[in-house]
């Protein structure tokens, strides 16, 4: 395994408020990592720094030994919510194809690209919704479409910011199944407030509360059992 994300002595502040302090992380190819921590602890900020949406105030982030902003085409991103007017006339197929917009020619997609989008929608369990409006989907169904959109350009890194928040258990299970069956070489970083579920699925857990620590799921369970962590370290599932 090789390190594809290397973070050294990273610090970040909003105005004068410190959010992340002296973070050091090495993330390897194929890692499936859960990220937990209290609200305001710096989880989403860490993701934005990795994606190059924010710049560190101190320290460095390297992705494939390059700056994050130069590696955005290697990263797929699934937000917690997708702010789209439910009446906006876009189908699920069209939304997934937006993940290939930078690779399309003048905004047109090839037959092969459309077939790939349909195949991904089928894999996420939405075959019957391919040509349906995105705005008509339930929360769990919408999240699966967003995962398909993130996967269509075959990113080497997939980042998910609480993709299972506010959805039903069946959809949550479906999302984890999609991720587990994803390309084994793909590195996945997933923020979650649902510790009970995530410790059963991921290989490693990063606890974020200004600093960041990498642990195995077994180590996290042991720390909670010994009372070394207060439950607020993971916040509350919404």
Q: Is this prediction's pTM over 0.85?
A: yes
Q: What is the pLDDT of residue 197?
A: 79
Q: What is the pLDDT of residue 118?
A: 96
Task: Give pLDDT tens digits for 63-114.
Answer: 999 999 999 999 999 987 777 777 788 999 999 999 998 776 666 889 999 9
Task: Give pLDDT tens digits for 46-77.
Answer: 999 999 999 999 999 999 999 999 999 999 99
DSSP state of 202: -
Report the alpha-carbon distance of residue 102 to residue 104 in Å, rounded: 6
> Residue 209 belongs to what H/E stretch?
strand 204-209
Note the helical H segments in 129-216.
Answer: 139-151, 169-180, 195-201
The neighbour count for residue 55, using CB atoms within 10 Å, is 12
Spell out the residues 6+ positions from residue 209 whose beta carbon is closer than 8 angstroms to its own.
37, 38, 41, 42, 233
Strand order in the sheet with 17-28: 17-28, 3-14, 58-63
Report the alpha-carbon distance of residue 4 to residue 196 in Å, rounded: 28
Q: What is the pLDDT of residue 237?
A: 42
Q: What is the pLDDT of residue 105?
A: 65
Kindly list the distances between the CA atom of residue 231 and the CA atoms of 39, 43, 216, 228, 236, in Å, as whole numbers in the listed order: 12, 16, 17, 10, 9
Q: What is the pLDDT of residue 106?
A: 61
Q: What is the pLDDT of residue 140?
A: 86
Quick one: 3-234 is in which CATH superfamily?
P-loop containing nucleotide triphosphate hydrolases (3.40.50.300)
Pairing assessment for the beta strands 75-78 and 157-161 based on DSSP bridges: parallel
Using 70 as the pLDDT threshold, list the residues of the chain that sit under it. 1, 104-107, 225-238
All structural domains of the chain with their residue ranges: 3-234
């Amino acid at each position: 395994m090789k390190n594809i994300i290397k973070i050294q002595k990273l610090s970040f502040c909003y105005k004068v408020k410190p959010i992340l302090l002296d973070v050091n992380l090495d993330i390897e190819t194929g890692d499936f990592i859960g990220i937990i921590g209290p609200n305001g602890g710096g989880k989403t900020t860490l993701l934005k720094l990795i994606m190059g949406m924010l710049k560190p105030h101190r320290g460095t982030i390297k992705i494939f030994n390059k700056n994050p902003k130069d590696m955005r085409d290697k990263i797929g991103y699934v937000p917690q919510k997708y702010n789209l007017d439910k009446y906006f006339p876009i189908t699920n197929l069209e939304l997934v194809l937006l993940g290939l917009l930078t690779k399309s020619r003048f905004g047109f997609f090839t037959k092969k690209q459309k077939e790939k989008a349909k195949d991904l929608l089928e894999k996420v369990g939405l075959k019957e919704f391919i040509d349906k409006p995105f705005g008509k989907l339930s929360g769990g169904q919408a999240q699966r479409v967003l995962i398909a959109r993130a996967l269509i350009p075959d990113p080497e890194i997939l980042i998910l910011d609480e993709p299972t928040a506010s959805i039903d258990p069946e959809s949550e299970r479906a999302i984890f199944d999609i991720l587990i069956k994803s390309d084994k070489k793909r590195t996945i970083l997933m923020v979650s407030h649902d510790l009970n579920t995530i410790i059963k699925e991921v290989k490693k857990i990063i606890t974020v509360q200004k600093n960041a620590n990498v642990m195995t799921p077994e180590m996290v369970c042991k720390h909670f059992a010994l009372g070394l962590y207060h439950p607020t370290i993971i916040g509350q599932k919404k």
